[in-house]
Amino acid sequence: MNQKETETPKISVIVSTYNAEEWLKKVLWGFNCQIFKDFEVVIADDGSGPKTKELLEEMSKKVFYNIVHVWQEDDGFQKSRILNKAVEASNADYIIMTDGDCIPREDFVEVHYINKEPGYFISGGYYMLPMNISKMITLEDIEKQNCFNIHWLKKKGIPKTFKNNKLTANGVISKLLNTFTPTNASWNGHNSSGWKKDILNVNGFDERMQYGGQDRELGERLFNFGIKSKQLRYSAVCVHLDHKRGYKTPESIAKNQAIRKETKSNKMVWTHYGITK
């Protein structure tokens, strides 16, 4: 029995992926640089080919945390289904969800851990990087936290915008920005966390949902269930690597909006298309 697997971790981090080894490797290295170390990483793999499995075997030997690989056959965009399987496979009482193209800052897991609270879920933020910088980031840049350093990014050509506060704000400033941000604290697939029992109580993700807002619908049912949310966009930070969005179609958006409308108007808590069928 490997040391990594002997005790139940305090946190399960679910990372969704699909055939994106170059990005996933950077993300896994980001988790290897975390200050808070009592977590496992559960890979929610929506049908990747053998290269992802090979990468995970290779990375398992290099990182301090345990990696659990949950895979399903490729059947088009079935992210909700694989996330439900990953929730069931996770070993901790508290779950952070993020994507395989979001590199976490070194305090990412710690911020979620210290802010978790019964009756709440947490909504974090992300900082979008252009493709040229996404490719340029090396494992050493992640170790040195260069990719979160606004001066380093500006040298690489990042423009000056208000969003840069996500990387520079700390302490009182980040608390103020968290409080006054105009975005409501919804469940975001790239950076959110909550209690496993709460997710199970609303039966997880609705597996009918396609690309575009399928994570928000889970948050809406959590709200209907009485769970509140905390906004930590300026404290729980990850950088989002650029990628093509191949699954976003007008049909998928319309279908998802119809499901979300039903959830809202009927104040639905449970989905019949979730973990328990």
In this structure, is residue 117 part of a structural domain? yes
Q: What is the pLDDT of residues 95-130, one digit of tens each?
A: 999 999 999 999 999 999 999 999 999 999 888 999
Contact 169, 234 (CB under 8 A): yes
In this structure, is residue 273 part of a structural domain? no
Instruction: Report the C-alpha gap between 112 and 194 in whole angstroms.
Output: 9
Across 179-201, average pLDDT = 84
Percent composition of the chain: helix, strand, coil (DSSP 3-state, to 5): 40, 20, 40
> Apex CA 16: angle with CA 244 and CA 81, to 5°?
105
Across 219-244, average pLDDT = 90
Instruction: Report the C-alpha gap between 112 and 186 in whole angstroms.
Output: 15
Q: Helix crossing, 21-32 with 50-60: angle to 10°?
A: 20
In this structure, is residue 272 part of a structural domain? no
pLDDT above 50 for 2: no
pLDDT bucket at 243, cuts 50 / 70 / 90: confident
In this structure, is residue 184 part of a structural domain? yes
In this structure, is residue 1 part of a structural domain? no
pLDDT above 90 for 166: no
pTM to 2 decimals? 0.92
Q: What is the pLDDT of residues 70-82, one digit of tens each?
A: 999 999 889 999 9
pLDDT bucket at 165, cuts 50 / 70 / 90: low
Q: Which domain holds residue 35?
A: 11-266
pLDDT bucket at 1, cuts 50 / 70 / 90: very low
pLDDT bucket at 269, cuts 50 / 70 / 90: very high
In this structure, is residue 274 part of a structural domain? no
Tokens linked to 16: 């969704």
In this structure, is residue 137 part of a structural domain? yes
User: Residue 171: what pLDDT?
Assistant: 63
Tokens linked to 83: 């996330």
User: Residue 100: what pLDDT?
Assistant: 97
Domain count, the chain: 1
For position 101, which CATH number holds?
3.90.550.10
In this structure, is residue 88 part of a structural domain? yes
